[in-house]
């Protein structure tokens, strides 16, 4: 595979799951001590990667969960945030300015703070009430954050009696790193073709629904826009027909990400519409891929993880074809803003 270290990838994703025992024990302990709600507070891409776990709680649990913009929460506050809150703050670098500020704000409000970082000796890891560190880098962090946040959600559901097969689900998740590696290998040729499709155009519409919407949002904003400077319009599939459809015409690229939960019909509606009006429609459907040993329940949970691992291969080819390294920035951490 192009510019890819298999051993490094497996070590990072296995590391994400290796924290499961300590992470679930910490979450369970906070619930026992009276935590009554959960805040996911990530900045930028790390925040987006928390969305599937938050959504799973919203649709499968009655436990209150809040997803807020850290910078906004510090300015507005929340009547729900207090001593009975658990705040989860992800940051790969552990140095994100807005995340450091919201950590301090949460602790001042009495909340317990868990941080998920890629580095230990960082402000977020040092200041957290409970710090979980799994080394990762930009090309491997999506899967790692998705997996860790999923463990948090599943633990809450188990403790509340809303998930009666937690052990079986976690056992299946342990298979995911090896399965992802096989997917990358099998997808390599197709990834190069999709990269060729993307690099030919300067504008793309990317859509998804349910658990795949966060990956559409993330890939459009954090990869195509930030790392490749390609104008991209991420739009939820349910909103596609409330404005964005009017931009679809011959030559306009539309990319649909399709998962395996109950929201598939929303993406299928786009899939039925777009090819009638543009010759540049692509769909990436996780149901196409063999994930041996995973139940349908777990497949629906890991759809965004599967998409992230496939799209990483696209990114690897894209930066070569466009002669634009994924690390190149104009402004991010280069100028004062």
Asked if residue 35 has pLDDT above 90, the reply is yes
Q: What is the pLDDT of residues 165-176, one digit of tens each?
A: 999 999 999 999
pLDDT at 143: 98
SS (H, E, C) the chain: CCCCCHHHHHHHHHHHHHCHHHHHHHHHHHHHCCCCEEEECCCHHHHHCCHHHHHHHHHHCCCCEEECCHHHHHHHCCCCCCCCEEEEEEECCCCCHHHHHHHHHHHHCCCEEEEEECCCCCHHHHHCCEEEECCCCCCCHHHHHHHHHHHHHHHHHHHCCCCCCHHHHHHHHCCHHHHHHHHHHHHHHHHHHHHHHHHCCCEEEEEECHHHHHHHHHHHHHHHHCCCCCEEEEEECCCCCCCHHHHCCCCCEEEEEECCCCCHHHHHHHHHHHHHCCCCEEEEEHHHCCCCCCCHHHHHHHHHHHHHHHHHHHHHHHHHHCCCCCCCCCCCCCCCC
Question: Which of 119, 123, 166 has its CA nearest to residue 144?
Answer: 119
The mean predicted confidence, pLDDT, of the chain is: 97
163 CB burial (10 A radius; 0-12, 13-18, 19+): buried
| Homologous superfamily, domain 6-173 | Glucose-6-phosphate isomerase like protein; domain 1 (3.40.50.10490)
What residues pair up with 257 in beta bridges, in sequence order? 284
What is the model's pTM?
0.97
Q: What is the pLDDT of residues 49-101, one digit of tens each?
A: 999 999 999 999 999 999 999 999 999 999 999 999 999 999 999 999 999 99
Query: Dihedral of CA 20/43/48/137: which sign?
Result: negative
Asked if residue 333 has pLDDT above 90, the reply is no
Label residue 22 by pLDDT band (50, 70, 90). very high
- Residue range 218-234: mean pLDDT, rounded: 98
- Residue range 152-178: mean pLDDT, rounded: 98
Asked if residue 219 has pLDDT above 90, the reply is yes
Query: Domain-by-domain residue ranges, the chain?
Result: 6-173, 176-321
Q: How far apart are CA 182 and CA 306, in angstroms?
A: 11
Asked if residue 337 has pLDDT above 90, the reply is no
Edge to edge, the sheet with strand 112-117 lists 65-67, 37-40, 85-91, 112-117, 130-133
Q: What share of the chain has pLDDT > 90, as a percent?
A: 99
The CATH fold of domain 176-321: Rossmann fold (3.40.50)
Q: What is the pLDDT of residues 94-117, one digit of tens each?
A: 999 999 999 999 999 999 999 999
Distance, C-alpha 45 to centroid of its chain: 8
Q: What share of the chain has pLDDT > 70, as a percent?
A: 100
pLDDT at 171: 97
Q: What is the pLDDT of residues 237-292, one digit of tens each?
A: 999 999 999 999 999 999 999 999 999 999 999 999 999 999 999 999 999 999 99
Alpha carbon separation from 121 to 92, 117, 135 (Å, rounded) = 12, 10, 12
Identical fold between 6-173 and 176-321: yes
| Cα angle, residue 43 at apex, residues 321 and 218 outer, rounded to 5° | 35
Label residue 160 by pLDDT band (50, 70, 90). very high
Asked if residue 142 has pLDDT above 90, the reply is yes
Find the radius of gyration of the CA atoms of the chain. Answer: 19
Residue 50: CA count within 13 A, CB half-sphere: 25
């Amino acid at each position: 595979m192009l510019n890819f270290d298999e051993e490094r990838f497996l070590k990072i994703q296995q590391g994400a799951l290796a924290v499961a025992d300590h992470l679930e024990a910490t979450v369970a302990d906070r619930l026992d001590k009276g935590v009554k709600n959960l805040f996911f507070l990530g900045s930028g891409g790390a925040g987006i990667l928390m969305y599937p776990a938050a959504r799973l709680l919203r649709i499968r649990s009655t436990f209150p969960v809040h997803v807020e913009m850290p910078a906004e929460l510090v300015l507005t506050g929340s009547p729900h945030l207090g001593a009975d809150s658990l705040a989860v703050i992800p940051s790969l670098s552990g140095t994100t300015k807005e995340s450091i500020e919201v950590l301090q704000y949460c602790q001042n409000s009495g909340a317990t703070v868990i941080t998920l970082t890629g580095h230990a000796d960082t402000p977020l890891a040092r200041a957290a009430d409970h710090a979980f560190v799994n080394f990762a880098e930009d090309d491997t962090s999506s899967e790692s954050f998705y997996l860790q946040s999923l463990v948090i959600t599943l633990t809450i559901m188990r403790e509340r009696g809303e998930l009666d097969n937690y052990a079986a689900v976690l056992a299946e998740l342990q298979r995911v790193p090896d399965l992802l590696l096989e997917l990358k290998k099998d997808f390599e040729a197709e990834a190069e073709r999709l990269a060729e499709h993307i690099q030919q155009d300067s504008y793309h519409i990317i859509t998804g629904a349910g658990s795949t919407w966060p990956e559409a949002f993330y890939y459009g904003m954090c990869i195509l826009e930030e790392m490749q400077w390609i104008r991209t319009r991420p739009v939820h599939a349910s909103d596609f027909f409330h404005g964005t459809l009017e931009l679809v015409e011959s030559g306009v690229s539309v990319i649909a990400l399709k998962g395996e939960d109950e929201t598939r019909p929303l993406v299928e509606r786009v899939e039925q519409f777009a090819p009638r009006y543009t010759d540049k429609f692509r769909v990436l459907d996780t149901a196409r891929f063999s994930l041996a040993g995973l139940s349908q329940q777990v497949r629906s949970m890991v759809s965004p993880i599967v998409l992230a691992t496939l799209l990483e291969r696209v990114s690897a080819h894209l930066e070569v074809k466009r002669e634009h390294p994924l690390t190149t920035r104009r402004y991010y951490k280069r100028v004062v803003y």
